[in-house]
Structure 1
């Protein structure tokens, strides 16, 4: 059966046209800075400085990428960030999902009290100095665990996961499983986890992005450069370049170094953002579904 033809008035057509114009403008405002970084990273820095690079790269060069991939410190930081993101995400899933499922169970005594204390930490924290002393007393200072463990649990993720469990896993399913002799542990592993694929995908995305972009904990807790994540390595390089420029007397050499630093800056943005941009399309459908389910009920 063919869909009925809906006749639009001139006002409706004008309204649609304005919507398309507004949405296209917003899309361009969001996408163009990303596109500019890409073309600037392979353009002559002098052309970029003069404002001649708008739509297409000019004076093609890959010196910035050569400098990035030839810098051992950058590659060590890239490897460390990847390690922190993977291991930290595993820790986050192992801790967040059981906690959220437990809080979603109506038969858990005192679950409102636990929820209150969790939410309380979202508004009030011990502060930087107590956190530093705690990490130090636990012997995690200047170790990989000072990056992974403190950021492994997010109260927001627990609350969102709890809401997902409440709206997705019916109590009747648990009662039917208990009749068949299923324990709580087996029910969670064999039934709950397979039914929460969208939620797990969302948690993976949130955790990976959080660990990948994290630099503050590393700046506070780490001293060895071999443990620095990529974000902290980039900060060190920018600081060093600023200091080195002030020590060079030859203006021509300063200009040359600044141009190379500009290329490196754009190239590093691309290299640092690529893993997250590659990961997101694979999780997008689960991401949308998980967010909507977790936000409607609860």
Structure 2
């Protein structure tokens, strides 16, 4: 390949730098505003790019009460349990649909794809959750979105790309289908599993609409608490009229809740980054 000219490399570097600045600036503003004092927020019109005297007063205030703390634990629990259950169910269904000559495989696959093209509406889903007795139950945040058709198709395509000779060799050793899944398929599917788990985790963590329909406000996850607070501007935490609660401005509280709701899921990406591109491309190309 021809070596790029210096002016081309410089233009690419400048464009990349501009994009990085545009992407990182909102994050820096959110973090800086959450650490700023009320006087700095007022003097800067509600936003701070670099606080002169950083303070954790806003974070102490939101965690001094039970609203954000409880909502955080709800989000963590729903994300962990929901992701584990979704990955397990998706893996088993995708493996069954990926194997040739499975009884009822094609009709089931067509039914699954039909739900992808024609998803159920809000009213039928609500009536189903209500009839199952799951209103104000944490299972209502998991069961309706237990299996994603997109993730199912990605895993099915990845399983189909595994050489058939491995399955035949395992059968010659007297291994059953479940043992083949655990000992042969899953060890070869770490990249795809990591991507699917990440998709599920992000979906559960960012979900708020289901909570607004199925749950009472004392069982809300963090994203619904964040949405309600940002829209209504209501104070969170215990307000004692003194100390940190009296010092915090509404903008700092909003940005602090936003940071708490965003940072945990961002910390997952570095551990799965090496699997992300490989898993998505491998599963998508085959399917």
Q: Structure 2-normalised TM-score?
A: 0.88
Equivalent runs, 1:101-112 vs 2, <5 Å = 101-112=95-106
Query: 1:46, 1:259 within 8 Å by CA — same for their partners in 2?
Result: no
- The aligned residue for residue 51 of structure 1 is 44
Cα separation, 2, equivalents of 1:274 and 1:215: 17
What is aligned with 1:177?
A: 170
Aligned-partner Cα distance in 2 for 1:21–1:211: 37
1:125-144 matches, cutoff 5 A: 125-144=119-138
Q: How many equivalent pairs are there?
A: 278
Structure 1's unaligned 5+ residue stretches are 1-5, 245-255
In 2, the alpha carbon distance for the partners of 1:265 and 1:240 equals 11
Structure 1 residues 57-68: aligned runs within 5 Å? 57-68=51-62
The runs of 4+ residues in structure 1 deviating greater than 4 Å are 6-9, 52-55, 256-259
The alignment yields a C-alpha RMSD, in angstroms, of 2.4
Matches of residues 141-290 of structure 1 in structure 2 within 5 Å?
141-167=135-161, 169-223=162-216, 225=218, 227-238=219-230, 240-241=232-233, 260-290=249-279
Q: Distance in 1 between matches of 2:144 and 2:2?
A: 59
Distance (Å, rounded) in 2 between the aligned partners of 1:106 and 1:57: 62
Q: Does the alignment pair 1:119 with 2:108?
A: no
Q: Which of the pair has more CA radius of gyration?
A: 1
Q: Is residue 2:285 matched to residue 1:296?
A: yes
Q: Distance in 2 between matches of 1:43 and 1:121?
A: 48
Decide which moves more: 60-69 or 152-161.
Answer: 60-69
Distance (whole Å) between structure 2 residues aligned to residue 290 and residue 47 of structure 1: 46
Q: C-alpha distance in 2, partners of 1:91/1:287?
A: 20
Gap runs ≥5 in structure 2? 237-244
Q: What whole-Å deviation, never above 9, does each CA across 1:82-122 have from its counterpart, x for those lacking one?
A: 00001101110111001111111122244333222212212
8 Å CA contact 2:135, 2:215 repeated in 1: yes
Pair 181,25 (structure 1): closer, same or farther in 2 beyond 3 Å? same
Partner of 1:28: 21
Give the TM-score normalised by structure 1.
0.85
Does structure 1 conserve the Cα–Cα contact (< 8 Å) formed by 2:167 and 2:180?
Answer: yes
Mapped partners of 1:189, 1:264: distance in 2 = 47
Contact 1:142 1:221 in 2 (8 A): yes
Cα separation, 2, equivalents of 1:243 and 1:67: 10
Q: CA deviation at 1:218?
A: 0.8
CA distance in 1, matches of 2:93, 2:184: 16
**Cα distance, 1:234 vs. partner?**
2.3
CA distance in structure 2 between the partners assigned to 1:100 and 1:30 by the alignment: 36
Question: In the aligned structure 2, how far is the partner of 1:134 from the partner of 1:128?
Answer: 10
